[in-house]
Amino acid sequence: LLDAEGRVIASTNPSVPLGLRLYSPEIEAALQSHTAHDVRHTGNEELAYAAAPVLYEGDILGVIQVAAPMQPAYQDARERWVELIIEAGVILLLSLAVSLWLGQTITRPIRQLHASALRIANGALDERILIKSKDEIGQLGQAFNYMATQVSNLLNMQRSFVSNAAHELRTPLMSLKLRTQSLLTENLPDDQKTTYLQEIDSEVNRLASVVTDLLILARIDEGKHERRLEPFDVSAFFSDVARQANIQARQHHQQFRAALPDSLPDVAIGMNDLRIVLDNLLSNAMKYTPIEGTILLEVSSDTHLHIQVSDTGEGFAPEHQSLLFERFYRVDRPNGRLVSGTGLGLAVVKTIVEHYGGQIQANSSGVGKGATFTVTLPLAA
Ligand SMILES: Nc1ncnc2c1ncn2[C@@H]1O[C@H](COP(=O)(O)OP(=O)(O)OP(=O)(O)O)[C@@H](O)[C@H]1O
Ligand SMILES: [Mg+2]
C-alpha cells in the first residue's frame, strides 16, 4: 500500500522498508489515476504486478500494488494445452472412425449393386439384391431388383415367343414335306395329285399369313413400324370392307349386317393397318360363329372413331377376356371342334390399334352367347 507520492505505507513483504519510494511502470500509471500491470523478473523469479489508484472524490489518496508469481499460471496453461491436444486427438480419431463407418455403409451396397449388375449382364437373370435399408440406397436397390425382374420377364416372353413361332411354322412345314414327298415318290392318280397340291397351296397360304403376323409384331416391337397417315376415304373404305364381308359371310352360310353412317371423319391410322384390324375381327367373328349365325359391323364417330364387330357365335368365358389378345393364346374347345388358327390375330390387332394410340376391348355374355370386339381410334388431327 503506497501513499499519493508512491512511498510504502504498508507491505506484506517484510523485506520492503516502510517509507521507501517505489518506481515501476504500473505504480507510475496508478499515480496518474490508471490501473495497470507489468511482468518483471525479481531475483530469479518472474512476477506479475498490478497497481490501482485509491481515489476519493477525484483525488488520489494512494496506490494499491499486488504481486503474484507467474510460475503457477504457466503451469496451468501448460496443463490446459496438454488436455486440449489429447481432446483434439480423441475427436479426430472418433470422426475418422465415423467417416470410415459411413463410407463403408454407403459403398458396400453400391459395390454389391455393381457386382450384381455384372452377374446379371453375364446371364444370371435370377440375381437379386438383399435390401436392408429404406433410404436412397435401399430405393436404388428396389429399383434395381424391379429392373432385373422386368428384364427377365421380357426375355422369357421373347424366348417363348420364338419357340411358339418356330412350333407354328414347323407344323405346316411338316405336312408340306409329307405331301411333296408323296408327290415325288409315289405314283399317284391325277385326282389325288390335285388334292395334295390344293392342300399344299392352303398350307402355304397359312404359313404366309403366320409369317406376315409375326413380321408385323416384330416390326412394331422393334419400333420400326411406320405410322402411315396418308388420308383416305374412310366411308368408302368401310363400304368396301362391308361388301367383302358380305360375300364371305354368305360363303359361310352366315348373315352379315353393317351399320355405317353416310360420312365418317378422317382417322389417325394407316389404311393398310386398319384393313388388317378389320380382316382379323371379321374373320374371327365368322370363324367362331356357327352357320346361320349373324355378324354385325357398326361404325360411328364422335371425338373418336368407334368400330364394333359383334357376332352371335360361341363367345367366351370371362376368364379368357384379357388373355385373348396375348400372342398364341387360343381358347380350348371342350367339344373338340377344331378351328384352324395360330392365336396371333388378336395380338396383331391390339398391337396395331395401340401403335396408333387406340384401344380395343373384347366382351362376351358367356360361352355360346356371342362376342363383341370394340375398337376406339383417335381422329386425324
Ligand atoms: N369372335 C370371337 N368369338 C369367340 N372367340 C373368339 C372370337 N375371336 C377370337 N376368339 C378367341 O380368341 C382366340 C384368339 O384369337 P386370334 O384371332 O388371336 O387367334 P386365332 O383366330 O385362333 O388364330 P389366327 O392367328 O389365325 O387369327 C381364338 O382362338 C378364340 O378362342
Ligand atoms: Mg383370328
* 196: amino acid identity, one letter: Y
- Cα angle 364-365-369, degrees, rounded to a multiple of 5: 90
Instruction: Compute the distance between CA of residue 150 and CA of residue 112 in angstroms, rounded to an integer.
Output: 20
Bridge partners for 62 per DSSP: 3, 54
The full set of domains in the chain, from first to last, is 2-69 (3.30.450.20), 150-222 (1.10.287.130), 234-378 (3.30.565.10)
What is the distance between the terminal CA atoms of the chain, rounded to a whole angstrom? 108
pLDDT digits (tens, 9 = 90+) for 282-329: 999 999 999 999 999 999 999 999 999 999 999 999 999 999 999 999
Q: How many residues does the chain have?
A: 381
Using only C-alpha atoms, what is the Rg of the chain?
50
Q: Is the CB of 144 under 6 A from ligand 1?
A: no
Q: Is the CB of 314 under 6 A from ligand 1?
A: yes
3-state secondary structure of 379: strand
How many Å separate Cα 27 from the centre of its chain?
A: 84
C-alpha 346 to ligand 1 mean position (Å): 7
Instruction: Give the CA distances from residue 345 to residues 42, 172, 240, 297, 351, in Å, rounded to whole numbers and listed in that order.
Output: 114, 17, 21, 18, 10
Return the sign of the alpha-carbon dihedral for residues 243, 249, 250, 251.
Answer: positive
Instruction: Compute the distance between CA of residue 161 and CA of residue 296 in angstroms, rounded to an integer.
Output: 33
Q: Is the CB of 346 under 6 A from ligand 1?
A: yes
Indicate the top mutation candidate among 256, 337, 346, 349 to test ligand 1's pocket, ranked by most ligand atoms within 8 A of CB. Answer: 346
3-state secondary structure of 203: helix
- Counting Cα atoms < 13 Å in the Cβ hemisphere of 199 gives 17
Instruction: Compute the distance between CA of residue 79 and CA of residue 374 in angstroms, rounded to an integer.
Output: 91
Q: What is the pLDDT along the chain (381 residues), one digit of tens a residue?
A: 999 999 999 999 888 899 999 999 999 999 999 999 999 988 888 999 999 999 998 899 999 999 999 999 889 999 999 999 999 999 999 999 999 998 888 888 888 889 999 999 998 888 898 888 888 888 998 999 999 999 999 889 888 888 988 988 998 899 999 999 999 999 999 999 999 999 999 999 989 999 999 999 999 988 888 887 788 999 999 999 999 999 999 999 999 999 999 999 999 999 999 999 999 999 999 999 999 999 999 999 999 999 999 999 999 999 999 999 999 999 987 666 677 888 999 999 999 999 999 999 999 999 999 999 999 999 998
Q: Is the CB of 281 under 6 A from ligand 1?
A: no
Ligand 1 closest atom vs CA 373: 1
